A and B are shown apart, each in its own frame.
Chain A
């Protein structure tokens, strides 16, 4: 089978799965609803509980889950290739810690502004992720020869630790109610209740995905090694910058939408590699699609398993992701 055909077949299979999950997910929930009633236009909107449950509560949630899952999984693939480290995640370089610090400050400083329907917490967390990205980038590009992956990795890990310390400090000074709210935000949540936050995150994710699509070949070479890539004519510095910036931008947007939902960015790429091999032309789109389906399914579990109480979606992904991560480590050694 030619590679082009293989890409089309595999991506089509994953796309079918993702679409099926995303069509099915909004029809299930903690409350039984009548789909016929939900789509019945003759019932006034204000009287149609089924339609409101479907269109206000579930659909935005599923769409947010799809967007965040696809983004985190794809960003995971890009960072694993860029850092040549299979244990890298979208959060390895401090983006999520920056975003969390931003959200934490918005909560404790009681910022209550709203810009174009976007509330202060997503805004502040996106700003935090940009600050973290800028710091790591400045550190890593201080040498002229380009981004050193080791420096990137160390800077990211250090920044994560530093921001976490700041988060703990702010949390310690905060009121109980505020601290609880911030902790809850860090567990991740997709109950967005409106389409505004999704529409706001979409442009950043789309720009990043265009960049991802352009760099699949480069990622194949980068994951072998920078020298090998340079020998094949890859402009290393440019490629690294593009990969780092686009992955960080997408992660920042995803985290501002759903909170720092862990493990998607590591489980999904590895599972997909196990199924389809390591060619980034296939792994990247397949991971994005599988990530979307996976997070939507995790959120479905989160909102139904213990109904009427919800489990934070980050807890669900971590409960599945933790053991998987350990298995991966053992298998590697």
Chain B
């Protein structure tokens, strides 16, 4: 009896071995196929994040982009592409009907991401970060869209440009700077400034300035008139989105600052307006913004 059982068991063990081998092969094969299909670069990309669209075009994935957000204007090629809403109002129906095989979403678009998951459409989850995050995003998108080499080249080029600016300003005194990116036109009410953290702060540091609001440790802060007077910035750098400012416009923009005549930046005429669209877009054009900042801080 015992013998029979043992024989049977031996037979069973023999089969189990084959089954195991087959199973392992099967799993290997399936995962190979899945991996292969996942590795296949997407052919129809929809980008809902304008700065990521710029990155996609810079790394050579432009031809794969089939639709963009309503805020996309750069590079010029995107202006003829269909638009599918934006951050708070993505048009899910239209997105799905365009049959994308990759959608670039912003981190806060959880509802859209859930809907894409249900529709089995892969998405690239993006969130703004510091300056280094641009290069990280470039490489990640390069890997995802099949442009590893070009993404690497563009990322290295950008890093080299940033390093060049760093070297240029190295050793020079770093002026204490208030980096303003918004206020009520014609007055000093509701002044918003970079405050010790984030992308704009990183740009300022690379360009050789010291953030006068370093201790606040926020990406942006509303600064009162009293705070500006008390912090005594050496330079006030103000970002203005206007593509062109003539003499009169420039005077109108600078004039409200003149009330704060005890601030060193005002007294020494170092209230500098940096204008132009895209100065602060976290994408391939960021180097241009950093260079302009460096020129302003270290003429």
Contacts of B39 in A (CB 8 A): none
B215 at interface by CB-CB < 8 Å:
yes
Contact with B along A161-196 (1 / 0, CB 8 A): 000000000001001110011001100010111100
Interface SS of chain A: helix
User: Is the CB–CB distance between B185 and A49 below 8 Å?
Assistant: no
Q: Which of B189, B213, B252, B267 meets A191, CB within 8 Å?
A: B189
- Which one of A40-48, A68-76, A269-277 is at the B interface? A40-48
- Which one of A53-61, A210-218, A238-246, A280-288 is at the B interface? A53-61
The B171-202 residues at the A interface (CB cut-off 8 A) are: 182, 184-190
What residues of chain A have their CB less than 8 Å away from a CB belonging to chain B?
A: 29-31, 45-49, 51-53, 56-58, 61, 110, 112, 114, 119-121, 172, 175-177, 180-181, 184-185, 189, 191-194, 303, 308-310
Given A175-B71, A181-B190, 17 more A-B residue pairs with CB atoms under 8 Å apart are A30-B224, A31-B229, A47-B262, A52-B260, A52-B261, A53-B229, A53-B230, A56-B229, A110-B185, A114-B252, A120-B185, A180-B182, A191-B224, A191-B226, A193-B225, A193-B256, A309-B222
A58 to B227, CA, bound (A): 11
Smallest CB separation, B254 vs chain A (Å): 14
What residues of chain B have their CB less than 8 Å away from a CB belonging to chain A?
A: 71, 87-89, 182, 184-190, 213, 215-216, 218, 221-227, 229-230, 232, 252, 256, 259-262, 267
Contacts across chains A and B counted by CB atoms under 8 Å: 95
User: Is the CB–CB distance between B229 and A57 below 8 Å?
Assistant: yes
User: Is the CB–CB distance between A309 and B221 below 8 Å?
Assistant: yes
Q: Which of A49, A112, A181, A308 meets B227, CB within 8 Å?
A: A308
A192 to B222, CA, bound (A): 14
User: Is the CB–CB distance between A119 and B182 below 8 Å?
Assistant: no
Contacts of A56 in B (CB 8 A): 225, 229, 259-260
Smallest CB separation, A165 vs chain B (Å): 17
Contact of A193 with B216 at beta-carbon distance under 8 Å, contacts A48-B262, A56-B260, A309-B221 already known: no
Contacts of B262 in A (CB 8 A): 45-49, 51-52
A303 to B227, CA, bound (A): 10
User: Is the CB–CB distance between A308 and B260 below 8 Å?
Assistant: no
Contacts of B182 in A (CB 8 A): 177, 180-181
Contact of A49 with B230 at beta-carbon distance under 8 Å, contacts A56-B225, A309-B216 already known: yes
A241 to B90, CA, bound (A): 49
User: Is the CB–CB distance between A30 and B230 below 8 Å?
Assistant: yes
Q: Which of A29, A51, A192 meets B226, CB within 8 Å?
A: A29
A136 to B137, CA, bound (A): 55
User: Is the CB–CB distance between A184 and B188 below 8 Å?
Assistant: no
Residue of A nearest to B228 (CB): A57
A308 to B71, CA, bound (A): 34
Contacts of B261 in A (CB 8 A): 45-46, 52
Smallest CB separation, A37 vs chain B (Å): 11
User: Is the CB–CB distance between B190 and A193 below 8 Å?
Assistant: no
User: Is the CB–CB distance between A121 and B184 below 8 Å?
Assistant: yes
Residue of B nearest to A113 (CB): B186
Offer 29 A-B interface pairs, CB within 8 angstroms, sorted by A. Answer: A31-B227, A46-B261, A46-B262, A46-B267, A47-B262, A51-B262, A53-B229, A56-B225, A56-B229, A57-B225, A57-B229, A58-B226, A110-B185, A112-B186, A114-B252, A119-B185, A119-B186, A175-B71, A176-B87, A181-B184, A184-B222, A189-B190, A191-B226, A193-B187, A193-B259, A308-B223, A309-B216, A309-B218, A310-B222
User: Is the CB–CB distance between B186 and A303 below 8 Å?
Assistant: no
A176 to B221, CA, bound (A): 16
Closest 5 CB pairs of A and B: A57-B226, A31-B230, A119-B186, A57-B225, A193-B188
Smallest CB separation, A33 vs chain B (Å): 8
A230 to B259, CA, bound (A): 54
A135 to B183, CA, bound (A): 32
- Residue among A45, A57, A58, A194 having the largest count of chain B Cβ atoms under 10 Å: A57
Contact of A119 with B260 at beta-carbon distance under 8 Å, contacts A46-B267, A53-B226 already known: no
Contact of A119 with B184 at beta-carbon distance under 8 Å, contacts A56-B260, A185-B190, A194-B259 already known: yes
Contacts of A114 in B (CB 8 A): 186, 252
- Residue among B187, B216, B223 having the largest count of chain A Cβ atoms under 10 Å: B187
Contacts of A49 in B (CB 8 A): 229-230, 232, 262
User: Is the CB–CB distance between A30 and B221 below 8 Å?
Assistant: no
User: Is the CB–CB distance between A192 and B267 below 8 Å?
Assistant: no
Contacts of B189 in A (CB 8 A): 189, 191-193
Smallest CB separation, A69 vs chain B (Å): 18
User: Is the CB–CB distance between B224 and A310 below 8 Å?
Assistant: yes
Contact of A52 with B229 at beta-carbon distance under 8 Å, contacts A189-B189, A309-B216 already known: yes
User: Is the CB–CB distance between B226 and A31 below 8 Å?
Assistant: yes
A47 to B232, CA, bound (A): 11
Smallest CB separation, B6 vs chain A (Å): 76
Contacts of B267 in A (CB 8 A): 46
Smallest CB separation, B20 vs chain A (Å): 57
